[in-house]
Amino acid sequence: MKFLVSAALGFSLAAARRSELLPREEAEKLGVIWRGNSSKQSSHELLEATEMPSDFTWCNKDGKNYCTMSRNQHIPQYCGSCWAHGAISALGDRIKIARQAQGVDINLAVQHLLNCGGVGSCKGGTVDGPYQWLKQMSEKGTGIAYETSNPYVACSSDSSEGFCSHVDTSCKAVNVARTCGSFSQEGGPCTGLSAFPNATISDYGSISGADAMMKEIFNRGPISCGVDANPLLNYESGIIKTKGEGVDHVVSVVGWGTDSKDGMYWIVRNSWGEYWGEMGYFRVQKGALLLEDQCSWAVPGSFTAAEKNNQVHCHEGGDNCKAKAEAQVVV
């Protein structure tokens, strides 16, 4: 009886979960280049293939942690934005690597990508899209905003979950980076900023297969990859060995290890909060969950940081950094 109940529950959970990855045709309709690379010869191909260590993770490399914050895509309400979280987390780590883990961590605004990326929403996205959007924007001289100017609210324009029908997530200055300097009854509207801390990328690409993943991670940092999430829903700890049936979720891979019994496994950060899995992470055996099928990487370009002395210093009310279009929106 007990078995029947849990089997039925397992089935309904599996049936209820909808994919957070768009099929190829839908991705291409959004202008995403399937498994695209920013240059004809991907710079990944130029990386040296050295002998790989049996254990390697950016969360503890020579005693240093290069992993940035864990995130939760499903708070304050459900949002199928795994694809944005996987890409932004891996890029955040790579910025931390570029800074040799010095200074306060830079956390990038997932919500900027949701509001302006046009490559996905709370109803799903792609592995390739986020870096393709950011590269295009980087070429025009602006990067992705930081979390403190545009916090994650788990809403997109096509979502009516939770409080989302009351939230304007359209792509305009206040929804890229904003300040709200006083209460609205005091005449203090929210102001979109013309200058704000941001990070660009100089290069991106797509890879698949365990060897390419190891080479990319070892040489340049974490990557974002598709995965079959159904076996992950009730995961608690340990090394997952389920083969997987279809990729429907995106995560960031930070390294690998070798288990005496299960052999090589990947160390992976999810975006379901730290109460899930192993403090927000999981381990999966090499070859399992279709994790090696499709991955993306990006190379950081410029970013705003204290040590670079390149910040534009905005006032609390934003008067000296006011964006021209859509300067004021009362919310």
Ligand X SMILES: *[C@@H]1O[C@H](CO)[C@@H](O)[C@H](O)[C@H]1NC(C)=O
Q: Which residues bind ligand X (CB under 6 A)?
A: 35-37, 42, 44-45, 142-143, 195-196, 198, 205-207, 302-304, 310, 312
Give the nearest distance from C-beta 41 to ligand X in angstroms: 8
CB 161 within 8 A of CB 79: yes
Report cis status (omega within 30 of 0) of the bond before 151: no
Catalytic residue among 164, 249, 314, 321: 249
Give the nearest distance from C-beta 252 to ligand X in angstroms: 18
270 is catalytic: yes
249 is catalytic: yes
Q: Which is nearer to ligand X, 33 or 59 (CB)?
A: 33
Give the nearest distance from C-beta 304 to ligand X in angstroms: 4
Give the nearest distance from C-beta 13 to ligand X in angstroms: 34
Q: Which is nearer to ligand X, 238 or 301 (CB)?
A: 301
- Determine the distance from the C-alpha atom of residue 115 to the mean position of all C-alpha atoms in its chain, rounded to a whole number: 14
Give the nearest distance from C-beta 95 to ligand X in angstroms: 11
Q: Which is nearer to ligand X, 64 or 308 (CB)?
A: 308
CA atoms within 13 A on the CB side of 299: 14
Q: Which is nearer to ligand X, 80 or 205 (CB)?
A: 205
Q: In what order do the strands lie in the sheet with 328-329?
A: 178-180, 190-192, 328-329
Q: 3-state class of 18 per DSSP?
A: coil
| Pick from 167, 163, 177, 158: nearest CA to 112 | 177
Catalytic residue among 270, 295, 314, 321: 270
Catalytic residue among 67, 82, 164, 295: 82
Give the nearest distance from C-beta 197 to ligand X in angstroms: 6
| Pick from 235, 11, 232, 271: nearest CA to 130 | 271
Q: Which is nearer to ligand X, 204 or 281 (CB)?
A: 204
The label of the residue with tokens 């999981």 reads: 282
- Measured CA to CA, the distance from residue 185 to residue 183 in angstroms comes to 6
CB-neighbour burial class of residue 130 (10 A; exposed 0-12, middle 13-18, buried 19+): buried
- Measured CA to CA, the distance from residue 281 to residue 287 in angstroms comes to 18
Give the nearest distance from C-beta 309 to ligand X in angstroms: 10
For the chain, the maximum distance between any two Cα atoms, rounded to a whole number of angstroms, is 68
CB 194 within 8 A of CB 107: no
3-state SS, 74-131, equals CCCCCCECHHHHHHHHHHHHHHHHHCCCCCCCCCECHHHHHHHCCCEECEEECCCHHH
- Determine the distance from the C-alpha atom of residue 233 to the mean position of all C-alpha atoms in its chain, rounded to a whole number: 19
Q: Which is nearer to ligand X, 302 or 328 (CB)?
A: 302
Q: Which is nearer to ligand X, 203 or 228 (CB)?
A: 203
- Catalytic residue IDs: 82, 249, 270
